[in-house]
Chains A and B, each alone.
Chain A
Amino acid sequence: MEEKMEIEDLNLWYGTFQALKDIELDIYENRVTAIIGPSGCGKSTLIRCLNRMNDLLNDVTIEGEIELDDEDISKIDVVTLRKRIGMVFQKPNPFPMSIFDNIAYGPKIHGTKDKKKLREIVEDSLKRAVLWDEVKDDLNKSALDLSGGQQQRLCIARTLAVKPEVILFDEPCSALDPISTRKIEDLIAKLKENYTIVIVTHNMQQAARVSDFTAFMYLGKMLEFDTTKNIFTNPKNEKTESYISGRFG
């Protein structure tokens, strides 16, 4: 089991408000790492540090180091970094274009022009995201005509199309119905064979179902990090215990 990413002593401030405090976390290759915790604990902020999405915001100060394959991500060109670390968002956000163009968007901006090659990538990505059978006859249809669950799988396929190594999921099911949620969870379980996955969720059952490791965050601190089994059966921190047993949050 190899370490894919390593977070060391990470602190983050929005203006003067400290949102992350001394975070330490190892993310293992081909495993699913879940980050759980009550609203406002900093879990989304943390996952957005991993592909430097917080760079887009004003007035953010970040200290500490995040490594991808032992390389400091602040020294990696941000375009390359985001190619290697994909992200799926809370609200399905397909672009207002056809299904085909959505998937081809990433490869195109990274320089793939060959039509045949693009078609191959689109088909392969949609198959990996288990959406191909549902949309193969409608590739020119607007992506916005798909259902919410299909849109989210489209966004996953769009991420896969740039061939990432790590995929970040920021509460990917919070806008979806239970059946669509189940499909995404099955998909995540399948994707970990080829990708390293980090998922933020406020749904503890989801963390228990899909992840191998779980990190519990509270008020900007990482209180506990262990295998998912240990976190849910034998938590060491009493805050963790009361959160997973539903006493607060």
Chain B
Amino acid sequence: MKNKYVYALLWASTIVTAMILIFILGFVVLKGSSALSVEFLIDIPRRGGEAGGIFPAILGTFYLVIIALVVAVPLGVGGALYLVEFQKENIITKIIRFGADTLNAVPSIIFGLFGFAFLVYYLKLGVCILSGGVTLAFMVLPTILRTSEEALRAVPGWDKEGSYALGATKLQTIKNIVLPQSLSGIITGIVLSIGRAAGETAPIIFTAAILNPVLPESVFDPTMSLPSHLYTLVSESTPEKLVNAYGTALVLIILVLITTYSAMLFRKYFTRHVRR
């Protein structure tokens, strides 16, 4: 009898979770699809976003995510390799791990503030793609570090021993045995990071984002981005701007879904070749 209640409760939680997702997605699709058109994707915003498209914002988001990954992936994966393969457990590894977990819990606006104070002002980089991308990198770094660490730790010790016993060096073992087997887990962390970096407004609003619909020419130029454009449109909320806001949200969701899905395809393709 008791079983039945627990079962019903768990079932209800699942349904509610799924419903929330479906409701949000459905709402955005319903409200935003009327704004979608080829012009919307390739034109620059006109009349303050009431007309035209969002191309500079799409491009800007793309650049920001790329910069964030270029900075955070080597640091995160490298740091994880150090923790797992090169350093035995001691007080320093505990501090690093505690630091990463704390960093993960820091609100994104704090990263924005830090990026503004340190990168924009102190290093005099100015409001630009580089400042915004690096700020986003700081934000996703703990996720990449910790997921990579878990993935590296999951590689069985007997595989590494087998490699060492054949006379392989540590670097050869990492390259041929450890990385191929942990790549799938590392990619998962990167995918989570892409979603977060593409969608956050707070870290870039002081460090990279502008309202001017101009295309950046280098990483030292400021840029529009999807979340900050969305934020501006909603805060001014004329009827035309609201429609375009939903359109922008829809594009953002679709882009993140495409990225996630292709990463998963890659992972599936890869794990078929390297499987345990």
Which B residues are CB-close (under 8 A) to A93?
Answer: 156, 158-159, 161-162
Which A residues are CB-close (under 8 A) to B88?
Answer: 58
Contact check, A91 vs B165: say whether CB atoms are below 8 A apart: no
Nearest chain B CB to A81's CB is how many angstroms away? 8
Contact check, A109 vs B165: say whether CB atoms are below 8 A apart: no
Given A89-B161, A109-B176, also A96-B274 (CB < 8 A): yes
Give bound CA distance, A235 to B167, whole Å. 38
Which A residues are CB-close (under 8 A) to B276?
Answer: 96, 144
Per-position 1/0 for A68-85, Cβ under 8 A of B:
000000000011111100
Is B163 part of the binding interface, using a Cβ–Cβ cutoff of 8 Å?
yes
Residue of B nearest to A108 (CB): B176
Is A159 part of the binding interface, using a Cβ–Cβ cutoff of 8 Å?
yes
Indicate which residue in B161, B168, B181 contacts A53 across the interface (CB closer than 8 Å): B161
Indicate which residue in B169, B176, B275 contacts A105 across the interface (CB closer than 8 Å): B176
Indicate which residue in B158, B164, B166, B177 contacts A91 across the interface (CB closer than 8 Å): B158
Nearest chain A CB to B160's CB is how many angstroms away? 8
Which A residues are CB-close (under 8 A) to B165?
Answer: 51, 53, 82, 86-87, 89, 159
Q: How large is the interface on B (under 10, 10 to 19, 20 to 34, 35 or more residues)?
A: 20 to 34
Given A93-B158, A95-B177, A109-B172, also A82-B163 (CB < 8 A): no
Give bound CA distance, A216 to B169, whole Å. 34
Which A residues are CB-close (under 8 A) to B156?
Answer: 93
Give bound CA distance, A40 to B176, whole Å. 33
Give bound CA distance, A50 to B235, whole Å. 72
Give bound CA distance, A53 to B161, whole Å. 8
Is A106 part of the binding interface, using a Cβ–Cβ cutoff of 8 Å?
yes
Of residues 41 through 61 on chain A, the ones whose CB sits less than 8 Å from some CB of chain B are 51, 53, 56, 58
Of residues 142 through 180 on chain B, the ones whose CB sits less than 8 Å from some CB of chain A are 156, 158-159, 161-169, 172, 176-177
Give bound CA distance, A181 to B122, whole Å. 69
Given A89-B158, A89-B161, A89-B162, also A96-B181 (CB < 8 A): yes
Nearest chain B CB to A8's CB is how many angstroms away? 24
Nearest chain A CB to B273's CB is how many angstroms away? 8
Nearest chain B CB to A175's CB is how many angstroms away? 11
Contact check, A56 vs B162: say whether CB atoms are below 8 A apart: no
Give bound CA distance, A94 to B274, whole Å. 12
Nearest chain B CB to A198's CB is how many angstroms away? 14
Which B residues are CB-close (under 8 A) to A142?
Answer: 275
Which A residues are CB-close (under 8 A) to B161?
Answer: 53, 56, 89, 93
Contact check, A96 vs B167: say whether CB atoms are below 8 A apart: no
Nearest chain A CB to B168's CB is how many angstroms away? 5
Given A91-B158, A97-B274, A142-B275, also A162-B177 (CB < 8 A): no
Give bound CA distance, A106 to B173, whole Å. 11
Per-position 1/0 for A170-186, Cβ under 8 A of B:
00000000000000000
Nearest chain B CB to A101's CB is how many angstroms away? 9
Given A89-B158, A96-B181, A109-B172, also A144-B275 (CB < 8 A): yes
A82, A96, A144, A162 — which one has the most chain B CB atoms within 10 A of its CB? A96
Contact check, A53 vs B164: say whether CB atoms are below 8 A apart: yes
Which A residues are CB-close (under 8 A) to B164?
Answer: 53, 56, 82
Give bound CA distance, A96 to B167, whole Å. 18
Of residues 143 through 167 on chain A, the ones whose CB sits less than 8 Å from some CB of chain B are 144, 155, 158-159, 162
Contact check, B158 vs A106: say whether CB atoms are below 8 A apart: no
Give bound CA distance, A95 to B159, whole Å. 6
Give bound CA distance, A95 to B189, whole Å. 24
Which B residues are CB-close (under 8 A) to A53?
Answer: 161, 164-165
Is A136 part of the binding interface, using a Cβ–Cβ cutoff of 8 Å?
no
Contact check, B159 vs A96: say whether CB atoms are below 8 A apart: yes
Which B residues are CB-close (under 8 A) to A158?
Answer: 162, 166
Give bound CA distance, A81 to B168, whole Å. 11
Contact check, A80 vs B167: say whether CB atoms are below 8 A apart: yes
Nearest chain B CB to A143's CB is how many angstroms away? 11
Nearest chain B CB to A27's CB is how many angstroms away? 18
Residue of B nearest to A83 (CB): B167
Indicate which residue in A86, A97, A144 contacts B166 across the interface (CB closer than 8 Å): A86
Is A110 part of the binding interface, using a Cβ–Cβ cutoff of 8 Å?
yes
Which A residues are CB-close (under 8 A) to B162?
Answer: 89, 93-95, 155, 158
Which B residues are CB-close (under 8 A) to A155?
Answer: 162
Residues of B within 8 A of A (CB): 88, 156, 158-159, 161-169, 172, 176-177, 181, 274-276
A-B contact pairs, 11 of them (CB 8 A): A58-B88, A80-B167, A82-B164, A89-B161, A89-B165, A93-B156, A97-B274, A106-B168, A110-B167, A162-B166, A162-B167
Known contacts A91-B158, A96-B274, A109-B166; 10 additional CB pairs below 8 A are A79-B169, A81-B167, A83-B167, A87-B165, A89-B161, A105-B166, A109-B172, A109-B176, A144-B275, A159-B165
